[in-house]
Amino acid sequence: MRTFIRLLRYLKPYKWKLMVAVMAMVAFTILQSVSIMSLVPMVDVVFNGRDLAIPDDVRMPFRPEVQELVDYLNTVPRYPNMLNMIVLFVLICTFFKGLADYLHEVMLEYVGQGVVKDLRNHLYRHIQSLSMDYFDRQRTGELVSRINYDVSFVLEAVSGRFAKSLMDCIQLPAYAVIAICIQWQLALLTMIGLPFLLSPIGIVGRKVRRLTKRAQEKVADISSILFETISGIQVVKAFCMESYEGRRFKNENRTLFRVMVATVKKAAILSPLTEWGGMIVVGFLCYYGARLVIKGDLTVGLFVVFIGCMASMIKPLKNIGKLNVGFQKAMAAADRIFSLLDTRPTMCERPDAVEIGRMRSGIVFEGVSFDYHDAEAGVLRGIDLEVRVGEIVAIVGPSGSGKTSLVNLIPRFYDPTEGRVRIDGVDLRDATIASLRGQIGIVTQETILFNDTVRNNIAYGRLEAPFERIAAAAAMANAHDFISELRDGYDTVIGEKGEMLSGGERQRLAIARAVLKDPAILILDEATSALDTESERLVQDAIDRLMRGRTVFVIAHRLSTVTHADRIVVLEDGRIVQTGRHDELASRPGLYRKLYEMQFAG
């Protein structure tokens, strides 16, 4: 119930359309009930030639007013006037019924699609707000499944399709009221059996909810496999693992198939159960009601309407089962969605955070230690480092020594578990995230580009920048010439991850993006390690221009690329073991000299 209440909050922006839809449903139900009641004069007056009469034992609201209407109808010639009146009345009711049906279905579909749109937007914004450590633990495919698959299930609980079944259920009490008015003892006796007809609905609904949750988990697993294998298709093919990945996908798909079939089996049993039970009730009514007609205690017209109402209750009873199945599926999906929305970022901006200006003095690491949640030992331990403004600092060391983890603390992708990082004396945890990251540029080995134009990829984060600045940034990054040769120049769409470009071209676009941002702090993480000689020369030339006048952190395995650094920091097992310039570190025993000799041996 708590999940459903939370879901209802998303209906607030659409309350007026929801009210129109509800009013249309009520109007439809009233018109449907009145249409059924027109059978009484049709059977008793037109067919049997009797006057209309309200039996004494019939209980109904507004009896005097209804009696006046009956007296008036008895004055109307039975044929053809009465027949014409009934046919015209039914046609008018049908027209307005159709109008109400159309209105409620369109309004509720609008509400349902609006709720899903808002829920997707909220979910996406929340995912964007989560800290980096969340994405370290979470599979990308599962997050995509939450936004697409789970949200689509919620639509079933708030859309016009769901409302179609809901309207049938709203008619249930209307039919019950008519039946009670005609023969209340018989109607109440019949309704005593309703709980026995409805009890399987709750049992099946709970099982469907559990199965739906499992199905959604399987869809998330399949989404993860698809994302991993499609994005890594080159590796799959290189290692001839198509058959293995095919079997892995087939196993997960088979499990999903079995869960979905089990869900349908549980849901499908409801319809024949309720119909069978309903027909038993109708059979009993036909037998008992016919005896009342034979005795003269009930007119044929009222009997027909009574049977019609009770028989019409079978469809709503069946739809209650469908309604509950759809509702339970939606609630299972909503549980997963809200569990994600309840996940709080581990790094939050403090309410009293201050905006820091462009860095003036430098960055200081004071007693910094850091570890990931699942790490057995600290990734960084006791780091003390001061970097002056305008200094180029190279960070080197064996794989796993903590180089990338160290620079990831600067844009506050993570917070230290001990110690603090300060810019111009301000602890990064006391600064606004926008003012901090706004002055940091990052170029990594894995260039991240988007399926958009060259212009928008360069201007990412600076979309308001004029074309002249974008072109100047591209020229500074040695990218303008190859961009001009593309089919549509700067308006060329480069495909997912920039697949239409070579590695060196992608890297130069990333550098152009950093140039346009004009950061005070520049982080280069293995920016040239995956390039051929010619591309590396062009990229390194662009990087050299980009570094001028900035505070730069360079991570590199190839020590030949950092010999020009103002200072080299050597990490081992998360600790700083050496610092100095290239010449002095290469001339004395230590880890740096060992690494250098290993790379340049022979």
Give the pLDDT of residue 466: 92
Run of H or E including 313: none
Nearest to 557 by CA among 526, 536, 581, 598: 526
Cα 308 to Cα 302: distance, rounded to the nearest angstrom: 10
pLDDT digits (tens, 9 = 90+) for 399-456: 888 888 899 999 998 899 999 999 999 999 999 988 998 899 888 877 788 888 999 9
User: Among all chains, which residue has been given the structure tokens 């007026």?
Assistant: 16
Higher pLDDT, 37 or 146: 146
Tell me the C-alpha distance between 258 and 249, whole Å: 14
Q: Which amino acid is at 543?
A: I
pLDDT value, residue 76: 62
The beta-carbon contacts of 336-343 under 8 Å, at least 24 apart in sequence, are 336/146, 336/150, 336/213, 336/216, 337/119, 337/123, 337/146, 337/150, 337/151, 337/154, 338/3, 338/6, 340/123, 340/126, 340/127, 340/143, 340/146, 341/122, 341/123, 341/126, 343/126, 343/130, 343/134
CA distance 562 to 555: 9
* pLDDT the model gives residue 48: 62
- The domains of the chain, with CATH numbers, are 2-341 (1.20.1560.10), 362-600 (3.40.50.300)
pLDDT for res 391: 92
The total of other beta-carbon atoms located within 10 Å of residue 322's CB is 20
Residue count of the chain: 602
Least confident segment among 360-374, 476-490, 494-508: 494-508
Q: Which residue type, as a one-letter code, is found at position 290?
A: A
pTM across the whole model: 0.72
The C-alpha torsion from 504 through 505 and 506 to 510, rounded to 10°, is 100
Window from 27-36, 120-129, 407-416 with minimum mean pLDDT: 27-36
Sequence-distant (≥ 6) Cβ neighbours of residue 40 within 8 angstroms: 52, 299, 301, 302, 304, 305
**Mean pLDDT taken over the chain:** 79
- How far apart are alpha carbons 167 and 319 in whole angstroms? 10
Dihedral in degrees, nearest 10, Cα atoms 108, 34, 317, 258:
-40
Whether 592 contacts 584, CB under 8 Å: no
Q: What is the DSSP string of 322-356?
A: HHHHHHHHHHHHHHHHHHHHTPPPSS---TT-B--
Q: Are 333 and 150 in contact (CB under 8 A)?
A: yes
Q: Which residue matches tokens 């249930």?
A: 172
The three-state secondary structure class of 253 is helix
